[in-house]
Structure 1
Amino acid sequence: MEHEKVKLPKRLYDALQDYGLPENGNESWPVGTISGLYDQWREEESSVLGTFIDENADNQWLLIDAVRYGYEAEPEQLYYVLLVKGDDESFLNVFRGNGRTQVDNRSEDNYWETKLTMPKIEAIDPRYKAFAVPVEEVEADD
């Protein structure tokens, strides 16, 4: 029986990558892997892993399934930065080449991107976070 890879939050995916857990699952000694992850969690006071599994049985089973069947990062939520509500020409555009920004419509092409992750928005300017609208909300209004 073929199982799909477990989708994990990006931060947990990155933490498991840092730990060295292969993405393809089928660990040869899963008990040792889980034990090692548990030891790491106990050593680090505020680890991503600890936050994910602490007192949450569903997430613990999800981690076990990730070790067993493999894992991948959940797609990150994408946002438009809409500076003036109702104005189709007030979306933040980021030049793919050098990160320069301009305000225009939300059309993307080989040069400009308008669908951004929250970390990218915050890296440009944390104040833009207040204007971030999930892509699905904007496109549902079309």
Structure 2
Amino acid sequence: MNEKAKLPKTIINVLDNEIKQATMWLNVAQPFTTIAAILNEMNKKTFDSDLFWWINLPANQWKLIDALRYGYELEPEPRWGIKAGNCYMDAPDSWGFDNVTPKAVIDNGAYWTIKEAADEIVRLLGFGEVVDLNKEGKAYE
């Protein structure tokens, strides 16, 4: 599993800051001291913060440990596309579909970052399905 963990930007900002501080104070950034520092920082802030809700999910705690072990990078922004058969919507302005790859759809900017918006287009069209272009694209790599 030695691949970099993918984390949201808000978490990366906190993590980068904590690692920098831990490295300055201890001359080393150790996973448990870094996580403890993040939890301590979280306790100073409101419980409504993105950090609080993200870090309190067990799967995310493991993701954070993996990030400290193997490194981390920014997770890709959500990219939702509309697929009908073997074709993807590549022209949202005219609701046009073509037999193109998910990468072409992304390059054209023919995607939504909010899934519910793409769901609404499918509902209006009466056909098609909303797909995660980030995952669909991996099948073509």
TM-score range, shorter chain: 0.5 to 0.7
Q: Helix, strand or coil for the counterpart of 2:6?
A: strand
Is 1:102 the counterpart of 2:94? The answer is: yes
Structure 2 vs 1, CA of residues 37 and 112 (structure 1 numbering), >3 Å: closer, same or farther?
A: same
Instruction: Give the 5 Å matches for 1:10-21.
Output: 13-19=8-14, 21=16
Structural RMSD (CA): 4.0
Equivalent residue, structure 1, for 2:91: 93
Instruction: Give the 5 Å matches for 1:1-142.
Output: 3-8=2-7, 13-19=8-14, 21=16, 28-30=28-30, 31-42=32-43, 43-54=45-56, 56=58, 58-81=59-82, 91=89, 93=91, 101-106=93-98, 107=100, 108=104, 112-114=108-110, 116-119=111-114, 126=117, 128-130=118-120, 131=122, 133-134=130-131, 135=133
Question: Between Structure 1 and Structure 2, which shows a larger proportion of helix residues?
Answer: 2
Mapped partners of 1:48, 1:32: distance in 2: 21
Mapped partners of 1:55, 1:109: distance in 2: 33
User: Aligned partner of 1:54: which letter?
Assistant: N
Identity of aligned residues (%): 25
Count of residue correspondences: 114
Q: Which runs of 4+ in 1 moved over 6 A?
A: none
Structure 2 vs 1, CA of residues 110 and 47 (structure 1 numbering), >3 Å: closer, same or farther?
A: closer
Q: Helix, strand or coil for the counterpart of 1:102?
A: coil
Cα deviations by residue, 1:62-109 (Å, 9 ceiling, x for unpaired): 212212321123445532246xx77x6x93625xxxxxx332223448
Unaligned runs of 5+ in 2: 18-22, 123-128, 137-141
Mapped partners of 1:110, 1:55: distance in 2: 30
Structure 2 vs 1, CA of residues 110 and 76 (structure 1 numbering), >3 Å: closer, same or farther?
A: closer
Unaligned runs of 5+ in 1: 95-100, 138-142
Q: Is the CA contact 1:78–1:118 (under 8 Å) kept in the aligned structure 2?
A: yes
